[in-house]
């Protein structure tokens, strides 16, 4: 092969090369078109030709239709994935595509409705694969193949990616499955739940409550400051003072009781006190007698 390459096929003026793959001579070939048609035939139907040959017809195209992809079926039990330009696609079992002769119109593989748009890709995939979807605006989306539903041929499919109104799928490629879950949100065809309008909302507390709380906090702070500075006794100190006062009263009463008992027990001191009380009375009586005695005046 030269630097500039060599001719692999002769292309007509109104034609273009879409795909090229290596086969083992015993494979089945599936061709898909933009109108959603597909045909399956054995590769023996395409005889060997030289490099510069134009080839033979694989599928008969309708007006304005063209081939969008080719699948070389490697075995049985797989699935064929088809995608439309508006972001929709599906998987279909390979067994749903009957074997036919090349050059026919084929069977419907995807309904190309106004919702779907034209079919833009067809490939064989397995549950262990991932898909890389690229849009015309440069958006890339990766998702697991096992997230895509497997349905019949003559259906519209499901949403693969959510696109803007003026955006379309440009290309889809199969890639090895990632260790991490792609977690694609765009592939969901349903919108998320609406917010719960009946959810309870706690009303804000009145400003007056905040003021009362602030005043109480201020009083507590002032009391704490007074206690800290020694101006106000703490509850513990007040209790101690009350205990001391009670003890003082009890001690005083006890002392008075002891003194009174001691006085009653000492008769000598009691008799002396009685005599002391009688002496002023006798002296007073004597003075009274002197005053009453004759009432005389003496002259010298």
CA distance 167 to 140: 12
pLDDT in tens, 39-89: 999 999 998 899 889 899 999 999 999 999 999 998 777 899 999 999 999
CA distance 92 to 90: 7
pLDDT for residue 12 is more than 90: no
**121 and 104 both lie in a single domain:** yes
Q: Could you give the 3-state DSSP secondary structure of residue 257?
A: helix
Higher-confidence position of 38 and 200: 38
Residue 99 pairs in a beta bridge with: 40
- Count H helices, E strands: the chain? 3, 11
Q: Global pTM?
A: 0.59
pLDDT in tens, 152-184: 998 889 999 999 999 999 999 999 887 765 554
Residue 286 pairs in a beta bridge with: none
Q: Look at residue 271 in the predicted model and tell me its pLDDT.
A: 55
Whether residue 278 is contained in a domain is answered as yes
Cβ atoms < 10 Å from Cβ of 105: 15
Kindly state the tokens that stand for 208: 């007056």
- In the chain, which residue ranges form alpha helices assigned H by DSSP? 207-229, 235-265, 267-292
Whether residue 219 is contained in a domain is answered as yes
**213 and 79 both lie in a single domain:** no
**90 and 131 both lie in a single domain:** yes
CA distance 115 to 90: 14
Closest CA to 143 of 190, 95, 87: 87
Which helix (H) or strand (E) is 135 found in, with range? strand 129-135
Domain boundary among 134, 161, 176: 176
Return all residues near 260 (Cβ < 8 A) that are at least 6 apart.
Answer: none
Q: Is residue 154 a contact partner of residue 111, using CB atoms and an 8 Å limit?
A: yes
Residue 159 pairs in a beta bridge with: 88
**172 and 33 both lie in a single domain:** yes
Whether residue 91 is contained in a domain is answered as yes
Mean pLDDT of the chain: 76
**167 and 271 both lie in a single domain:** no
The domain containing residue 256 runs over which residues?
234-285
């Amino acid at each position: 092969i030269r630097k500039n390459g060599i001719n692999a096929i002769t292309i007509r003026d109104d034609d273009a090369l879409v795909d090229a793959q290596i086969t083992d001579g015993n494979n089945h070939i599936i061709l898909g078109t933009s109108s959603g048609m597909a045909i399956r035939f054995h590769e023996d139907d395409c005889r060997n030709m030289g490099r510069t040959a134009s080839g033979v017809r694989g599928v008969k195209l309708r007006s304005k239709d063209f081939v969008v992809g080719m699948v070389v079926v490697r075995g049985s039990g797989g699935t064929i994935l088809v995608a439309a330009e508006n972001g929709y696609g599906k998987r279909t079992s390979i067994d749903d595509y009957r074997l036919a002769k090349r050059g026919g119109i084929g069977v419907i593989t995807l309904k190309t409705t106004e919702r779907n748009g034209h079919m833009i890709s067809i490939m064989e995939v397995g549950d262990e694969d991932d898909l890389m979807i690229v849009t015309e605006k440069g958006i890339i989306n990766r998702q697991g193949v096992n997230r895509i539903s497997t349905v019949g041929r003559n259906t519209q499919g499901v949403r693969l990616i959510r696109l803007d109104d003026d955006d379309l799928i440009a290309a889809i490629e199969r890639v090895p499955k990632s260790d991490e879950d792609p977690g694609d949100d765009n592939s969901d065809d349903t919108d998320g739940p609406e917010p719960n309008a009946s959810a309870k909302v706690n009303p804000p507390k009145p400003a007056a409550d905040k003021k009362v709380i602030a005043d109480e906090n201020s009083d507590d702070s002032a009391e704490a400051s007074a206690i800290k500075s020694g101006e106000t006794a703490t509850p513990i100190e007040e209790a101690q003072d009350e205990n001391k006062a009670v003890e003082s009263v009890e001690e005083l009463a006890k002392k008075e009781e002891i003194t009174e008992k001691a006085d009653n027990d000492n008769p000598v001191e009691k008799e002396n006190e009685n005599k002391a009380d009688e002496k002023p009375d006798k002296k007073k009586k004597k003075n009274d007698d002197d005053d009453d005695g004759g009432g005389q005046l003496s002259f010298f």
